């Protein structure tokens, strides 16, 4: 009996890797220009870190965490998200004392015990960014501009940006009470989960996907009407800055997010293309989190994008792997040997070149070149080796050109450049 992988935890196969590498490379490149540096933190942390940051009554902590006891009877958890571990590391290594470590990004696997379905898995991947230390709404706008820039760069247009403000410790408690009062009057219409949690985490009811809860809360008081002057000013400045940067957005006063640490600005990139898995990226401001985790009183804002969901939205052209640039078809023993050396020389010159060593006929070698989608093919026999030149065939067009064997790399590079132009 063969052993299979664990339910909801996927292999990312070579045929799909082009899309992943494209997204990762675009993120690295774009985040770099906004001043972000990569940070890599472990995939497991002390359980307490997530309980204290994400919140005891959130879905993640209540239902979705992979929590184990290790051999030393310590409770450890596979990270369900990236912000808490990154902040833990930021505090532990006193990165706030360094001039250039306040904008951080990360990418890697996250783990949540959820019911697997399209766009929802138990091991999934996030690319996220955090900007620590400033609460100016320009920072919020810049983070959202960077997020929009990323979506434009990778060619995903079927998304829209929704923003909201959840207020701060001055105004949220008042709103919370008002909301509890409203929910108490509608308790009969709420789902069992919400009946249980509305008193401890009333904002979550607004985010519940159950039809009854949606209907019951359709006329719930809006958080935006309960902001204190400071939060109101912050949210309206954010909108002005977004207009100035030409970032399109909609306001969604019902968006509350599933993590307790958010304050003021929250946002989601949503799509209609993935059914109920409609959030592709999400984030917000977390001005109290660093202090809550034992660090200095520093504000922060960040987001995480779900890579599996991004991949599902990518255009066909981004999913294709790059084919070999050259296939060397060798005729005879001498060409096999000299071709083998030529192959290596080309590879050292950064040409993606391929050759078959199994002694196939010329016809079979050309068939293989075709199947691999190689851009060019070159037939190498005694004659070519004697004269030092051969015919380079463009597989798509069927055209050929004479090339010097010792000038193959620059010739191919030039031909590829001309093709791309
Ligand atoms: P959802 O409402 O879909 O459960 P969430 O609010 O739990 O999302 P966040 O914690 O904000 O999600 O995570 C940020 C992003 O990570 C999401 O927008 C989504 O793209 C992705 N994500 C979250 N959970 C999963 C999962 N189980 N499988 C795949 N991607 C996920
Ligand atoms: Mg979730």
Residue-wise pLDDT for 1-12, tens only, equals 899 999 999 999
Mean pLDDT of 51-66: 91
Q: What is the pLDDT of residue 208?
A: 87
Ligand 1: nearest atom to the Cα of 310: 20
Q: What is the side-by-side order of every strand in the sheet holding 389-394?
A: 353-355, 326-330, 376-380, 389-394, 400-404
Task: Over range 284-311, report the average pLDDT.
Answer: 97
Reported as a pLDDT band with limits 50, 70 and 90, residue 34 is: very high
3-class SS letters over the chain: CCCCCCCCECCCCHHHHHHHHHHHHHHHHHHHHCCCEECCCCCEEEHHHHHHHHCCCCHHHHHHCEEEECCCCCEEEECCCCHHHHHHHHHHCCHHHCCCCCEEEEEEEEECCCCCECCECCEEEEEEEEEECCCCHHHHHHHHHHHHHHHHHCCCCCEEEEEEECCCCCCHHHHHHHHHHHHHHCHHHCCHHHHHHCCCCHHHHHCCCCHHHHHHCCCCCCHHHHCCHHHHHHHHHHHHHHHHCCCCCEECCCCCCCCCCCEEEEEEEEECCCCCCCEEEEEEECCCHHHHCCCCCCCEEEEEEEHHHHHHHCCHHHHCCCCCCEEEEECCHHHHHHHHHHHHHHHHCCCCEEECCCCCCHHHHHHHHHHHCCCEEEEECHHHHHHCEEEEEECCCCCEEEEEHHHHHHHHHHHHHHHHC
pLDDT of residue 316: 86
Question: Which backbone phi and psi does 245 adopt, to 5 degrees?
Answer: -90, 5
Taking residues 195-215, report their average pLDDT.
88
Q: Residue 382: its pLDDT value, please?
A: 96
- What pLDDT score does 258 carry? 72
Residue 75 forms beta bridges with which residues?
69
In the reported structure, the alpha carbon of residue 91 is separated from the centroid of ligand 1 by a whole-number distance in angstroms of 25
Check residue 420 and give its pLDDT: 67
% residues pLDDT > 70 (the chain): 100
CA distance 15 to 75: 38
pLDDT per residue over 244-265, tens digit each?
Answer: 999 999 999 999 887 778 999 9
In this structure, the residue with its CA closest to atom 21 of ligand 1 is: 306
Stated length of the chain: 421
Q: Judge if the beta carbon of residue 126 lies within 6 A of ligand 1.
A: yes
Question: How large is the average pLDDT for residues 192-206?
Answer: 88
* Ligand 1 proximity of 121 Cβ (cutoff 6 Å): yes
Banded pLDDT at 276 (limits 50, 70, 90)? confident
Residue closest by Cα to atom 23 of ligand 1: 306
Which pLDDT does position 421 carry in this prediction?
54
Q: Mean pLDDT throughout 176-195?
A: 92
Tell me, what's the pLDDT at 313?
95
In whole angstroms, what is the distance from residue 280 CA to residue 241 CA? 23
Q: Which of 79-83, 205-209, 410-414 has the lowest mean pLDDT?
A: 205-209
- pLDDT value at position 237? 98
- Supply the pLDDT for residue 389: 97
Q: Is residue 333 pLDDT above 60, yes or no?
A: yes
- Average pLDDT (373-397) is 96
pLDDT of residue 275: 85
User: In the numeric block, which tokens belong to residue 50?
Assistant: 């997530």
> For ligand 1, is residue 112 a contact (CB within 6 Å)?
yes
CA pseudo-torsion sign 187, 192, 194, 196: positive
Which two structure tokens, joined as six digits, stand for 410?
Answer: 């620059």
Residue 378 has pLDDT above 90, yes or no: yes
Under a CB-based contact definition with an 8 Å cutoff, are residues 257 and 282 in contact?
A: yes
- Test site for ligand 1: of 279, 285, 303, most ligand atoms within 8 A of the Cβ: 279
pLDDT at 56: 86
Task: Give me the pLDDT at residue 297, please.
Answer: 96
Task: Give the least confident one: 63-72, 74-83, 210-219, 370-379.
Answer: 210-219
Neighbours of 290 (CB within 10 A): 23
Q: What is the mean pLDDT of residues 42-71?
A: 94
Tokens 């940070």 — which residue? Answer: 39
Task: Quote the mean pLDDT of the chain.
Answer: 95
Q: Can you tell me which residue has the tokens 């050109």?
A: 401
Q: How many CB atoms lie within 10 A of CB 116?
A: 15
pLDDT, average across residues 199-210: 87
> What's the rounded mean pLDDT across residues 387-406?
96
pLDDT higher than 90, residue 366: yes
Identify the residue whose C-alpha is closest to ligand 1 atom 9.
Answer: 282
Tell me if 107 CB under 6 Å of ligand 1. no
pLDDT at residue 138 in the model: 98
The stretch 283-309 carries a mean pLDDT of: 97
CB of 281 closer than 6 angstroms to any ligand 1 atom: yes
Question: Using an 8 Å Cβ cutoff, are 123 and 101 in contact?
Answer: no
- Closest Cα to residue 270, out of 243, 252, 284? 252
147/160 Cα distance (integer angstroms) = 11
């Amino acid at each position: 009996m063969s052993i299979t992988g664990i339910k909801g935890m996927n292999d990312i196969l070579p045929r799909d890797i082009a899309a992943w590498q494209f997204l990762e490379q675009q993120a690295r490149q774009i985040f770099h220009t906004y001043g972000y540096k990569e940070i890599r933190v472990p995939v497991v942390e002390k359980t307490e870190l997530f309980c204290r940051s994400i919140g005891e009554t959130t879905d993640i902590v209540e239902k979705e965490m992979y929590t184990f006891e290790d051999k030393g009877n310590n409770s450890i958890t596979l990270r369900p998200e990236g912000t808490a571990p990154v902040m833990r590391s930021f505090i532990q290594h006193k990165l706030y004392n360094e001039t250039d470590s306040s904008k951080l990004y990360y990418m890697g696997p996250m783990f949540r015990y959820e019911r697997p379905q399209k766009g929802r898995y138990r091991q999934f991947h996030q690319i996220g960014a955090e900007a620590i230390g400033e609460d100016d709404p320009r920072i919020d706008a810049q983070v959202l501009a960077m997020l929009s820039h990323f979506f434009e760069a990778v060619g995903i247009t079927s998304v829209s940006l929704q923003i909201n403000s959840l207020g701060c410790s001055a105004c949220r408690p008042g709103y919370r009470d008002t909301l509890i009062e409203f929910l108490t009057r509608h308790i009969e219409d709420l789902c069992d989960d919400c009946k249980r949690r509305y008193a401890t985490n009333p904002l979550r009811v607004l985010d519940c996907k159950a039809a009854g809860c949606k209907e019951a809360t359709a006329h719930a008081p809006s958080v935006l009407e309960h902001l204190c002057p400071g939060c109101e000013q912050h949210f309206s400045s954010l909108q002005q800055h977004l207009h100035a940067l030409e970032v399109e957005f909609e306001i969604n006063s019902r968006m509350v997010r599933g993590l307790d640490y958010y304050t003021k600005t929250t946002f989601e990139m949503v799509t209609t293309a993935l059914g109920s898995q409609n959030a592709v990226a999400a984030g917000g401001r977390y001005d109290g989190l660093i202090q809550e985790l034992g660090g200095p009183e520093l504000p922060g804002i960040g987001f995480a994008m779900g890579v599996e969901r991004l991949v599902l939205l990518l255009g066909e052209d981004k999913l294709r792997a790059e084919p070999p640039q050259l296939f060397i078809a060798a005729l005879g023993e001498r060409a096999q040997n000299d071709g083998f050396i030529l192959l290596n020389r080309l590879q050292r010159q950064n040409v993606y070149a391929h050759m078959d060593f199994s002694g196939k006929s010329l016809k079979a070698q050309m068939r293989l070149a075709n199947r691999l989608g190689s851009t060019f093919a070159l037939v190498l026999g005694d004659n070519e080796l004697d004269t030092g030149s051969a015919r380079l065939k463009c597989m798509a067009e069927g055209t050929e050109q004479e090339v010097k064997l010792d000038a193959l790399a620059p010739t191919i590079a030039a031909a590829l450049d001309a093709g791309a132009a």
